[in-house]
Chains A and B, each alone.
Chain A
Amino acid sequence: MSPRAAGLEVRGLSVRLGGRSVLEDVSFKAPAGALVGVLGPNGAGKTTLLRALLGVVPFSGEVDMTGEIAYVPQSGSVNSSFPIDAFGVVAMARYPRRRWGWRLTSADRALALAMLDEVGLAAEARRPFDELSGGQRQRVLVARALAQEGDVLLLDEPLAGIDLPSQETILDVIAARCRRGALALMTTHDLAQAARVCQRLVLLDRVLIAEGPNEEVMRTDVLRRAYGTSLLVIDDGAVIVNDGAHHDH
């Protein structure tokens, strides 16, 4: 787990799916140590951006990435009734390194347990995944990403719908990694939370609306370009986004 300086630069990234343009000419930079929030209304292409960075969807444009990727998918995409325990989930991160092997080394297993401990779930190591709460499951998935030992953390809606203590734990853990040189990219629907915990923001609505430090993006005129009529501005400057369903591509 050597902390190297990670880095990410995206230039002119475009994605077409099913004949439609889902992302167009998106460019931004994310330096080491940054927790970057990716924001935008439904259908803005937030998840697609992550999937392009993972190499799962084809794209045009350029991506310069320093460091290896670790990925936390949306918790809803996981088969939660699968017979596996919390430790098993985290340990899964280590298997790709073993090629055709079946058994993990004791170092692998020690690392997995340590990551589980870091998210506060060492005591639940042998609990079936389907018996864990939503917040606990999300923490396990984050622990799994940490066990991948990547310096570029890609997280898809990691804080959505889970209890506050779990959210705090996850943010603490990610922040700790970032302080050691990692870089984290996190999609989210929660504007207020993004403003609070992220250092940089990328605002998308198929195209790049704005990117940069929080104060550059968190402005009413900027937000309006992405959220349009979903935005409600109250007279003392408070801004509410009416963001209905949580579907993304």
Chain B
Amino acid sequence: MGAALEWLADPWTSGILRRAFAEVTLAGGTCGALGCFVVVRGLAFLSESMAHTMLLGVVLAFALGAPVLAGAGIVAGLTVVAAVAIGSDRRLSFDTAMGVLLPALFGAAVAAAALVEGYRGRLADALFGSILGVTTTDVALAGGVALGVGVTLGLFGRRLELVAFDRALAEALGYRVKALDLLLLLAVTLAVVVALRAVGNVLVTALVLGPALTARLVCRRFWPMVAVATGVAVLCGVVGLYTTWYVEVGAGAAIVLTTTVLFMLAGALSWLRGTHRPLHARAIRGSLPPE
């Protein structure tokens, strides 16, 4: 028992790991929760594209000597606003608008990076992040975003849920559907910006989509799905960090590997049950269903 406890406690002796645990919990949890909205609304490409547009912001910010995250956030935010506004044109859907804008912006980012003199930290850095290199400031930022997203979901969660399920009814009930779209997308932007710092472009997509898809396999209802996705995301981060502490595998790689394994496990269990039905079933006959 003592040995097991020591085994569990050992990584916490490292300041680097303590900050990394905090970061994966805050940033990962936020991504997992918001990823559910991304998945049910079929915006799976969004998180990936979002991370691409941020490269443009990073490059511009660096060239102007401004803080890099600010550049990423502002450009991504502008892109989202633009896409929502374009998407309001009845002839184009929001998805189409993003699908057109984002490759263009990414291409511009690559070109700009190649041409802007003195651009350092080559694209690879923005791509892979450094979870072991997070500072206390990074963690505070992740905490702030997690808090903000939590408050947003607390206040607007039910409305966001209805908009995701039945936009027509949401409009009919007088909800400001465009504003809610924007709110959701800005929340996703913030979460991705923060996660980008921790795990980088390639892996942030895994954190946004993986836990949410895993949760979808085991949940029949939306808010349980959000809770499970949040938990799974945090679990992936924590397990990934334990792995990189005891095994010689890169931290970011370990986290993504865990995400993939959990998803495949959930998929296998779901398949074993015969259908794609969730793992548990409850039969209620005529009595008031509990919440």
Do A and B belong to a common assembly?
Answer: yes
Q: Tell me the A residues contacting B by CB distance below 8 Å.
A: 17-18, 54-56, 69, 71, 73-74, 77-79, 81-85, 87-89, 92, 95-96, 98, 100, 102-104, 106, 109-110, 113, 122-123, 125-126, 128, 144
Q: Tell me the B residues contacting A by CB distance below 8 Å.
A: 40-41, 90, 155, 157-158, 162, 164-169, 171-174, 216, 219-222, 225, 277, 282-286, 288-289, 291
Tell me which of B41, B157, B165, B174 contacts A84 (CB under 8 A): B165
Count A/B pairs, Cβ under 8 Å. Answer: 82
Tell me which of A17, A74, A83, A85 contacts B168 (CB under 8 A): A74
Query: With a CB–CB cut-off of 8 A, which chain B residues contact A71?
Result: 168-169, 172
Q: How far is the CA of A54 from the CA of B186 in the complex (A)?
A: 28
In contact, B220 and A113 (Cβ under 8 angstroms): no
In contact, A128 and B158 (Cβ under 8 angstroms): no
Contact flag A87-B289 (CB < 8 Å), given A56-B172, A73-B172, A126-B284: yes
In contact, B220 and A128 (Cβ under 8 angstroms): yes
Q: How far is the CA of A96 from the CA of B173 in the complex (A)?
A: 8
Query: With a CB–CB cut-off of 8 A, which chain B residues contact A73?
Result: 166, 168-169, 172
Q: How far is the CA of A213 from the CA of B187 in the complex (A)?
A: 52
Can you give 26 A-B contacts (C-beta < 8 A)?
A54-B171, A54-B172, A77-B166, A77-B167, A77-B168, A78-B166, A79-B40, A79-B165, A82-B165, A83-B40, A85-B220, A87-B289, A88-B221, A98-B158, A102-B158, A103-B291, A106-B288, A113-B288, A113-B289, A122-B286, A123-B285, A123-B286, A125-B284, A126-B283, A126-B284, A126-B289
Interface centre among B41, B155, B220, B225 (most CB of A within 10 A): B220
Query: With a CB–CB cut-off of 8 A, which chain A residues contact B174?
Result: 55
Q: How far is the CA of A21 from the CA of B162 in the complex (A)?
A: 31
